[in-house]
Amino acid sequence: MEHSKPLKDLQKAFPLRYQQGEFNMTSDSRHFVTSAQAAKQDYHPCFYGHRLRGAWRDLSAWKLDNHPTSDPVELYKRQHLLPPEYVLSSEGSQALSVEDLQEEDIYLPLFQGAMLYGYSHNAARYKHGSGHRSSWERHNPFAPLQPQFFVPSTTYQAWSKTCVGPRIAFRALSNATNERTFVVSCLNTQPCGNSIGLLHAFELDWPTPALLAQTALMGSFAYDWLLRHRLVGTNLNAFLLEETRLPEIPPHIAEMLGLLLGMLCFAGYAQAPFWLRWRQHAPEQAQQLSPPFLYALASQTRQKLHCVLDAASAVLFGLDKQELQWILRDCHHPISKSSDARFTRKLDPKGFWRVQKHSPPQERQTTQIFIIFESIKERDLHSFLQNFFKEECFFSYDHFLDRRSREIGPTFAENFFVPPETIWRHCEEHALRLRKINTNCPV
């Protein structure tokens, strides 16, 4: 990989400071609150996943449907029908004015490594158990956060280890024979446990396209392959990451890769502050692009973006097709073989054959990458990305609505999507509410 440099050399131009998650899950556990404990203290879950205490009012006060629901379409409709200063409860039956909130009325979600996957920091929700016996299940990254623990906002604001600003977040505990070794996402200022490692971009005040593009490279199969062949043990520490290699990304490529990753990391209105900053940073793109925070809702859309980022990363690392095939070898076996323990014992234990092994080979990310990789090689990366944005992202709102209807169902699209100018107005309202809840939230 002759086009790459050690991460520690790249940091001279792009400073990152390694930090373990702010809270130790053992010695700092006295500061944690579970959902059940929060409920006993009269803190209730809000639309964004926080726990808030205050004068919750029934939605019947606004003559709105107050029947509890878990339907994301109905929840978003109810939130937008409320006055801008009110935040909806997670089940959609009550609302609370954020103007009346005091610092002691707020519990912030504590992020743990199990919540990270596929560039999302909300890929799993807590079910039950504790410690090594805690159980998590995958869920839609668009859904409200459901962590295991919460941290009082007063504690987090006063916490000496709190670093304000964007950071690359990754699972600090892993091994070379997992489905993926380096599981990464991007976070703004949020409480994190020590099962998450952080690369804090201390000179930035928001996740810039350059930071997101670097996150995309670190989440690629190419980088993961490098790391899993160096990893001994289970701890992903600073000294190990500093010796790994990453390619330098031309600024015009970083802009496009950063936006693609933003669609995966910051999906949904709960990420409104990021998209408002992005709109300020790239006003011309914002006018052309259909609402980016609503783009990657469907699983097939998210997988397509994953494939583009992986193929682009392979090109930036200087890989040819044979080298990429070597990294992703044994990923083509049918379900009957990839699920057979007697067969998989013969495969490379550090291989990526575990990725989507229960899906047909032609539907796996490890197979679809090659289609995009060859398309890039037929022209060049910049031309491919420009064409991808033109065909996939830069289109009229009617086209956007039609495409989302085909991917996630006409009922969802017809009831949920509204004109872009209205969506941006909603985005501003969400950002203001989030700022009231988390004062470290950028707007």
Could you report the per-residue pLDDT of 315-366, keeping only the tens digit for each?
999 999 999 999 999 999 999 999 999 999 999 999 999 999 999 999 999 9
Apex 219 CA angle, 216 and 221, nearest 5: 115
Cα–Cα distance, 162 to 34 (Å, whole number)? 21
pLDDT for the residue 413 = 44
Going by C-beta distance under 8 Å and a sequence separation of 6 or more, which residues neighbour residue 261?
119, 186, 212, 213, 215, 216, 305, 309
Strands (DSSP E) contained in 331-391 are: none
Alpha-carbon distances of 237 from 8, 171, 241, rounded to whole Å: 13, 10, 7
End-to-end Cα, the chain, rounded Å: 39
Region 157-179 average pLDDT: 87
pLDDT tens, position by position, 366-409: 999 999 999 999 889 999 998 888 777 654 445 445 555 555 44
Apex 68 CA angle, 108 and 149, nearest 5: 20
Q: Residue 213: which of 283, 180, 166, 173 has the closest Cα?
A: 166
Mean pLDDT value across the chain: 85
pLDDT for the residue 236 = 84
Region 270-298 average pLDDT: 75
Region 240-268 average pLDDT: 88
Region 38-60 average pLDDT: 94
Look up residue 331 and give its two tokens.
């990923």
Q: Do residues 418 and 400 lie in contact, with contact meaning Cβ atoms separated by under 8 Å?
A: no
Q: Which residue has the higher pLDDT, 410 or 433?
A: 433
| pTM, to two decimals | 0.89
In 145-190, which ranges are continuous DSSP H helix?
A: 153-158
Q: Residue 395 class from Cβ within 10 Å (0-12 exposed, 13-18 middle, 19+ buried)?
A: middle
Q: Do residues 260 and 308 lie in contact, with contact meaning Cβ atoms separated by under 8 Å?
A: yes
Q: Do residues 262 and 414 lie in contact, with contact meaning Cβ atoms separated by under 8 Å?
A: no
pLDDT for the residue 6 = 67
Beta bridge partners of 97: 86
Cα–Cα distance, 25 to 192 (Å, whole number)? 9
Cα–Cα distance, 282 to 264 (Å, whole number)? 18
- Helices 299-316 and 221-228 pack at an angle, to 10 degrees, of 70
In this predicted structure, the answer to whether residue 172 has a pLDDT above a threshold of 80 is yes
Q: Residue 119: which of 39, 182, 166, 164 has the closest Cα?
A: 182
Q: Do residues 126 and 147 lie in contact, with contact meaning Cβ atoms separated by under 8 Å?
A: yes
Q: Residue 302: which of 262, 331, 330 has the closest Cα?
A: 262
pLDDT for the residue 396 = 45
Look up residue 142 and give its two tokens.
């668009």
If pLDDT is split at 50, 70 and 90, which confidence band does 33 have? very high
Cα–Cα distance, 56 to 377 (Å, whole number)? 57
If pLDDT is split at 50, 70 and 90, which confidence band does 170 have? very high
pLDDT for the residue 283 = 67
Q: Do residues 62 and 81 lie in contact, with contact meaning Cβ atoms separated by under 8 Å?
A: yes
Region 208-233 average pLDDT: 91
pLDDT for the residue 390 = 76
In this predicted structure, the answer to whether residue 165 has a pLDDT above a threshold of 50 is yes
Alpha-carbon distances of 257 from 141, 264, 312, 381, 386, rounded to whole Å: 20, 11, 8, 11, 11
Beta bridge partners of 120: 117
Strands (DSSP E) contained in 244-313 are: 245-247
Strand 196-200 vs strand 17-20: parallel, antiparallel, or unpaired? antiparallel
Cα–Cα distance, 82 to 97 (Å, whole number)? 10
Q: Residue 175 class from Cβ within 10 Å (0-12 exposed, 13-18 middle, 19+ buried)?
A: middle
